[in-house]
Structure 1
């Protein structure tokens, strides 16, 4: 595995510090728990889509905003020794620390600011990334531009505005509190430039970028123990910001985490909308 920094327009030199816009910082200890939960919830959906796009030995893939390692390792297994997987993120600490096959290259890279890491990719994939990127239009153009003719772009992003609740059945005070904290979390995301209705726009944006054979679907679990794990890690990660912004009290956060731990809540997620399109020859 190759580890290398990436900088705006100039591969091989350090990237300047990124402003602290991303609410769910990879450097926080809860990030690993979130990566594990997101993988358990959504990897099967992601892998199904990529398999249906025809991934094969020898493909060159760019995993944007890799964060954890589950997708990167799966891609490496599918492209084999003759393939290549470039895994990029603004913070590569989790990916770079994991043992990887030789065909995986890990780069520190900001998809909204930096030049793409090469070109001619058969597949470019991003999951739960662009909704958080300030210049997401530029990022999408960069991802499309990095495709080879005939290559596929798969973008998977949430649409919290389409389904804003974490407890669909708000039948009691515990469920009402869970939804209150979820509203606070969405407020923090919006304040940092996240587009909470981005997922629904993906098919149109892929067509406007010139891709063909565009299609999309959506997935979200209604209740799952993994949703409990994801919620606990997320709330712990943003707790201080929720309290500082007056969106929740410490007592409310403690009470909610106790309800989650006890398994008394049916927790869901925002819909994950997967959209894909192909670059014309």
Structure 2
């Protein structure tokens, strides 16, 4: 995952592996469904932006085979480095600042990345520049402002506490430059950038064990920031984590909007 200065969910923090695993469980099927529609196959050259974990790059590597190439980039490559074997190449790279790590890509993909990048416009230009004519771009990002709740059915104190902490998370993200309404802008931004055949859809998990695992990992990572900012107490957070662990609450995530298009 790329980050702005002071990125809230740093890859070096404890619990990041649980967050990667939960995100993969939740979002990989949607990502892979879109990539399959593009006809990805042997020999494709792919750039995975802000790779974070290994699930997507490993899937891409199987699809493109030994004649293909998968460039996996991130500011922090500590987690994806374990996948660095042909056809995967791992590079430290900041998509919002640096030039693309090559050109002529058949596919460029970023998931839950650009919402956190300070120069999102530059990052998007860089990704499109790296495509070959006819190459595909798939950008998938959250839109927490579109659906701001953790518990859609706020019927009791446990759900009210959960939603208060989710509001705290949104406040912290906003303070660090995240665009909490970025996902909905993607179709327009891709069209304005000159891509053809732009389409988009959204995936909106309402409840699942992976949602609970993601929430637990996220809250543990931002505990100190929530307390320092006066958004919650340690007692609030302990109570919420116990509620999540009980399995008795329906926990949602922000919608992930997937937008794709073709370079003319």
User: Is TM more than 0.5 here?
Assistant: yes
Contact 1:76 1:101 in 2 (8 A): no
Contact 2:4 2:176 in 1 (8 A): no
For 1:73, the equivalent position in structure 2 comes to 58
Contact 1:163 1:270 in 2 (8 A): yes
Q: Which of 198, 221, 245 is residue 229 of structure 2 equivalent to?
A: 245
Q: Tell me, what secondary structure is at the counterpart of 1:157? A: strand
For 1:25, the equivalent position in structure 2 comes to 10
For 2:238, the equivalent position in structure 1 comes to 254
> 1:194 and 2:178 equivalent?
yes
Give the whole-Å Cα distance in 2 for the aligned partners of 1:135 and 1:99. 28
Evaluate the alpha carbon distance shift between residue 49 and residue 241 of structure 1 in structure 2; reply closer, same or farther with a 3 A threshold.
Answer: same
Deviation per CA, 1:126-182: give whole Å up to 9, x if none. Answer: 000000000000000000000000000000000000000010000000000000000
Evaluate the alpha carbon distance shift between residue 270 and residue 59 of structure 1 in structure 2; reply closer, same or farther with a 3 A threshold.
Answer: same
State the TM-score, normalized to the length of structure 2: 0.98
Contact 2:42 2:64 in 1 (8 A): yes
For 1:226, the equivalent position in structure 2 comes to 210
State the TM-score, normalized to the length of structure 1: 0.92
For 1:106, the equivalent position in structure 2 comes to 90
How far has the Cα of 1:100 moved from its partner? Answer: 4.2
- Please list, as runs of the form range in 1=range in 2, the aligned pairs for 1:52-63 lying within 5 A after superposition: 52-63=37-48
For 1:207, the equivalent position in structure 2 comes to 191
Q: Tell me, what secondary structure is at the counterpart of 1:93? A: coil
Give the whole-Å Cα distance in 2 for the aligned partners of 1:183 and 1:99. 35
> Structure 1: 5+ residue runs without aligned partners?
1-17
For 2:248, the equivalent position in structure 1 comes to 264
- Please list, as runs of the form range in 1=range in 2, the aligned pairs for 1:79-118 lying within 5 A after superposition: 79-96=64-81, 98-118=82-102
Give the whole-Å Cα distance in 1 for the aligned partners of 2:4 and 2:150. 29
For 1:141, the equivalent position in structure 2 comes to 125
How far has the Cα of 1:41 moved from its partner? Answer: 0.3
For 2:165, the equivalent position in structure 1 comes to 181
Give the whole-Å Cα distance in 1 for the aligned partners of 2:167 and 2:34. 31
Give the whole-Å Cα distance in 1 for the aligned partners of 2:141 and 2:101. 22
Give the whole-Å Cα distance in 1 for the aligned partners of 2:196 and 2:83. 36
How far has the Cα of 1:22 moved from its partner? Answer: 1.2
* Structure 1 vs Structure 2 CA RMSD: 0.9
For 1:277, the equivalent position in structure 2 comes to 261
How far has the Cα of 1:20 moved from its partner? Answer: 3.6
Give the whole-Å Cα distance in 2 for the aligned partners of 1:180 and 1:252. 10
Q: Which of 20, 44, 59 is residue 29 of structure 2 equivalent to?
A: 44
Give the whole-Å Cα distance in 2 for the aligned partners of 1:180 and 1:19. 24
Give the whole-Å Cα distance in 2 for the aligned partners of 1:185 and 1:138. 26
